[in-house]
Amino acid sequence: MYKEEGKLKYMLGILWCTWVYLLALVTVTIKVRREIEELAREMVKLGIARSRNHAYNIMIEFGVKEARKLVERRKAVRRLVEEYMEKGLPYDNLPTVRDVEEERTR
């Protein structure tokens, strides 16, 4: 009898999770300005979002201003990476391994 109750609770748990999951996803068709669509494509291109749908969801959750900040931040990081790949890292006045080891022994 107890085994049957456990199975029933397990099956009800699966049904509840499936039902909640189905309620959470709804397809909506929207019209957006061209700049919003370009922002979504840019977010996908930069790897911020997995798809345009994901990008729209990020914009809905965090707002368009925050999404623009994410894009600008990611572009700045890419520019720095490209610059460092071309010119090398600016390591003037950075501590060397010997400096760090001396600090540790003190």
Domain ranges of the chain: 28-90
**CB-CB contact of 49 with 55 (8 Å):** yes
pLDDT tens column, 32-91: 999 999 999 999 999 999 999 999 999 999 999 999 999 999 999 999 989 988 888 777
Can you state the angle between helices 64-87 and 34-46, rounded to 10 degrees? 40
Report the predicted TM-score, pTM, of the whole model to 2 decimal places: 0.61
Answer with the residue of higher pLDDT: 103 or 39.
39
pLDDT score recorded for residue 15? 47
Cα dihedral 96, 98, 104, 106 sign: negative
5-40 pLDDT per residue, tens: 555 455 445 544 444 445 566 788 889 999 999 999
Residue 37 gets the label, from left (phi > 0), alpha (psi -120 to 50) or beta, of alpha
Give the length of the chain. Answer: 106
Closest CA to 62 of 44, 46, 78, 48: 48
